[in-house]
A and B are shown apart, each in its own frame.
Chain A
Amino acid sequence: MYTQALDVPQQNPDKGPRAVENPEYQAEFDAKIDAGGYIEAKDWMPEAYRKTLVRQISQHAHSEIVGMLPEGNWITRAPTLKRKAILLAKVQDEGGHGLYLYAAAETLGVSRDELLEALHTGRAKYSSIFNYPTLTWADIGVIGWLVDGAAIMNQIPLCKCSYGPYARAMVRICKEESFHQRQGYDLLLAMMKGTQEQREMVQDAVNRWWWPSIMMFGPHDKDSPNSAQSSRWGIKRISNDDLRQKFVDATVEQAKVLGVTMPDPELKWNAERGHHDFGAIDWDEFWNVVNGHGQGNVDRLAARVKAWEDGAWVREAALEHERKRAAREHQAA
């Protein structure tokens, strides 16, 4: 899963690309980008491009691993063994996405430990969607349908982003995400065919997740500080508002099939535009959640930090064992 990563300003925002560091290399780089080619790890790249990618890819990786928590919340309570297996496999996939993404970030000269340190100390962000609680089993379906659905809209353009290792990781991630989305929708279809209580549970979950899902596309284009440069670099291919509109148009139809309504009285088809109109987004809420002014953020980070600290003795033991083993081999040789 993934969200508005690129559009979230850092504590110390880059000032944009620095003055050309090497005019000859820069020209080659620009030409490659303009021709729609891929930049590879060994290629020269402007420092600001590298930093932007590290920020975006690591935020994406962090989102995957923090995202394991809200869904993991229901693994032990899944209602059938089949659903339990599906959810476990899904959360495991998210861990896998985290791994590919940390590996992609490592090609840019940062280590996974450094990136985790930035997450644990609150310097790095992750997708704010994962700060919301998962209150009922229906949340698991709605996350698959809406949150993964929004993630896919965001991610498909990244499969063609200019940085090769990231683009390739995204191809695999997108395939798995669309599988997750179908599974989430299937879970909801089953519940909607069930009892009145189950249908109410689904509607309640849609009510809670709809607006946060819409917000996953980030600020409006006019308020999106990093977008222009990222478009220039071929990291961002489609604007926030265009992606959001595409998502709304697709989801409204799926909601009809499911038999739920979206919690937005202004949501209606506009024949003139050929799109759905929708109500104003509460950006105060968005920025509050993004900036971590919420107990959800406190709890999620604390859970990650605790897991990391509780595991310290295990990581140390593995290193020490390796050192002992190497020493013994050396002695035997």
Chain B
Amino acid sequence: MTTPNPAHIEYVTRLGDNALILGQRMSEWCGYAPVLEEDMALANMSLDLIGQARMLLTRVGQLEGKGRDEDQLAFLRTEMLYRNLTLCELPNADFGRTMVRNFLFASFQVLMWERLLASSDTELAAIAAKSIKEARYHAQHAGDWVVRLGDGTSESHERTQAALDYLWPYTAEFFAATPSDEAVAAAGIGPAWSELEAAWEAVVVPVLNEATLTVPARTPFKSYGKFGRHSEHLGHLLSEMQYLQRTYPGAQW
């Protein structure tokens, strides 16, 4: 085994944590969606994301070579060691905000997986090949809802615009540079985050326009979840998710 490359580990950790935390959030919908079909769709997308997280965190464990498996990484890290985007950990709020978030994030994920198909990390490339189909479906599903809700009733328009206004500032974090970006790009592991910004806007903005929504202006607000500085929400999410592993240390389930 070669010496672990911290930049590589951090990069894959970010991908895995995004999938895990958004998957966990989406699973909260199960049984509470506006129609039965959406209960099933949201559970299905949550399953996809948790499946991606399992593969990615397993890969992180291999890369670091300390013998940690997916569960040790998911259940025994504290919030400062999580590297997910802040957007993924925000509460679901209503169905509108859930769909706007899914659309913004899945559109980002599609672009990322496309680039990762050619990753020099062949394991990561294989994960991308499987995950890209899922992400495309998520983006399509959520995009359809954003259009329906944005261009639906006046209430749904207002709610969806409010959701977009709330979430939009967090999307700047998608593209914020990290100190390891250069090393990762140079090693052919994956794109620097900032490389995806223009393509993402080109995909997202036309759908928001079709939904008759106003794209908010960029503000100076910055969020730092991917650097390990999170919102107040992640601690609560983890204390719920990690409860059994923390209460019964070392137990097998």
Interface status of A175 (Cβ within 8 A of chain B): no
Inter-chain contact total with CB atoms closer than 8 Å: 146
Interface residues of B, Cβ cutoff 8 Å to A: 20, 24, 27-28, 30-40, 43-44, 46-47, 50-51, 53-54, 57, 70-71, 74-75, 94-96, 147-149, 151-153, 155-156, 159, 240-241, 243-245, 248, 251-253
**The one of A83, A91, A191, A320 that contacts B31, using a Cβ cutoff of 8 Å:** A91
A85 touches B47 (CB 8 A): yes
List A contacts of B245 (CB < 8 A). 79-80
A143 to B174, CA, bound (A): 41
B243 shortest CB reach to chain A, Å: 5
B148 touches A307 (CB 8 A): no
A78 to B30, CA, bound (A): 14
Interface status of A194 (Cβ within 8 A of chain B): yes
**The one of B31, B35, B44, B240 that contacts A68, using a Cβ cutoff of 8 Å:** B31
B252 touches A77 (CB 8 A): no
Question: Given the known A-B contacts A76-B240, A81-B70, A95-B43, are A88 and B36 also in contact in the complex, defined by CB atoms under 8 Å?
Answer: no
| Chain A residue with Cβ nearest B158 | A313
**The one of B31, B36, B243, B253 that contacts A72, using a Cβ cutoff of 8 Å:** B31
B153 touches A317 (CB 8 A): yes
Interface status of A75 (Cβ within 8 A of chain B): yes
A126 shortest CB reach to chain B, Å: 13
List B contacts of A320 (CB < 8 A). 152-153, 156
Size of the A side of the interface (Cβ < 8 Å), in residues, is 50
A313 touches B54 (CB 8 A): no
**The one of B34, B40, B94, B253 that contacts A95, using a Cβ cutoff of 8 Å:** B40
A84 touches B50 (CB 8 A): yes
A303 touches B32 (CB 8 A): yes
Which 8 pairs of residues, A with B, have the shortest CB-CB distance?
A311-B34, A317-B152, A317-B156, A92-B43, A79-B244, A79-B253, A314-B34, A68-B31
A5 to B53, CA, bound (A): 40
List B contacts of A76 (CB < 8 A). 24, 27-28, 240-241
